[in-house]
Amino acid sequence: MDNFLSRADLLKEKLGPLLYQLRPSMKRNDELLEAFLSSLPPKYQHVVEFRHESWIDEAVFDILRRHNVGLCVFDMPGFSCPLVATSDFAYVRFHGSEGLYSSCYSEEELSRWAERITRLE
């Protein structure tokens, strides 16, 4: 983690939130999540992208909120994350509407997302 953060610091004012993407086979483990989030330095914005459906749960979102860590809201074929705020910022990823990393979003789709995001609290 120290090596990763030292490299991230090189971005200075251009550094945005740090994204931690879990592998799709990693099932929910609240204790492991708590331990990981507790180890993160608070001077950065942190985001977690869960890829296993077991993580998509209000209790997990509450753990993220306690640590002010963002939930990566994503849209991909076959699995989408609910639009939920868990930190003082939002982080949304568009992986593809029709095919993973192989499709563009139409103006209509982006407009619908924009409407949903503006209602996010």
Q: 50: domain CATH number? A: 3.20.20.410
Residues 6+ apart with CB under 8 A from 38: 67
Q: What is the pLDDT along the chain (121 residues), one digit of tens a residue?
A: 999 999 999 999 999 999 999 999 999 999 999 999 999 999 999 999 999 999 999 999 999 999 999 999 988 777 778 899 999 999 988 876 665 666 688 888 889 888 888 888 6
The pLDDT, as a whole number, for residue 94 is 83
Residues 6+ apart with CB under 8 A from 70: 17, 45, 46, 47, 48, 64, 86, 87, 89, 90, 91
CA dist., res. 75 & res. 81, Å (int) = 7
Alpha-carbon separation of residue 111 from 71, 77, 87, 107, 114 (angstroms)? 21, 18, 23, 6, 5
The pTM score is: 0.86
Q: How many domains does the chain have?
A: 1
User: What is the extent of the structural domain holding 62?
Assistant: 2-118
The pLDDT, as a whole number, for residue 103 is 67
